[in-house]
Amino acid sequence: MRVEFADQFVLYSPTTRGVPVVDTKSLFEVVNSWVSLGQSRGVPEDRRMTIDIKQATGWSERTLAQALGTTHPTVAKLLNGERTSLRVRRHLRDAYEVIRRISILNSGDPAATDRVLRTEPSSGRRSSIELLKDGEFGSAYLAAVDVMRPRREGLMRGTRLASIGRANASLFDEE
């Protein structure tokens, strides 16, 4: 089976003795027009997100590093606009979204946001900062919401969905 697309990038020259050679320069130019390779657009954004998290929580570089599951020198690199690993950048972006939402719910108060993220919910789960460190961003958000507004006792709680047609309790009083 022949690949027609790749044929336009094959060179035949006397120096290759009739062996086809791929013109990598032309191929790279085409691929580069499709995909943006090697551009550093994310670094200033990562720096801004790191600064925003510090302002929203009042955290030190060490505390932020703990929440990101990395070291404080890596956080210093983020603050200086230097490149870090892809894992750290992804973790930063996901943690930023959780912390930003919690900060909004706390009216932008850094002390309240810090307290909510550090406090363990009454349900016995880990604190949001511990969940952020482990990459459990959805659970971190829910734990923070539980700290801000604890679940009331007596409400129905379950871990499984009810079966269709089989309610656990009647939805209205029958007369």
Closest CA to 103 of 148, 134, 150, 146: 148
Question: E strands along the chain, which residues?
Answer: 10-11, 21-22
Distance in angstroms (rounded) separating the CA atoms of residues 173 and 85? 59
- For residue 120, the tally of other CB atoms under 10 A from its CB is 15
Domain boundaries, the chain: 4-34, 42-148
pLDDT per residue rounded down to tens, the chain (175 residues): 343 444 444 444 555 555 555 555 554 554 444 443 434 456 789 999 999 999 999 999 999 999 999 999 999 999 998 989 999 999 999 999 999 999 999 999 999 999 999 999 876 789 999 999 999 999 999 899 988 887 666 655 555 555 666 655 655 666 5
Which residues face 21 on adjacent strands? 11
Structure tokens belonging to residue 151: 């679940």
Do residues 131 and 102 lie in contact, with contact meaning Cβ atoms separated by under 8 Å? no
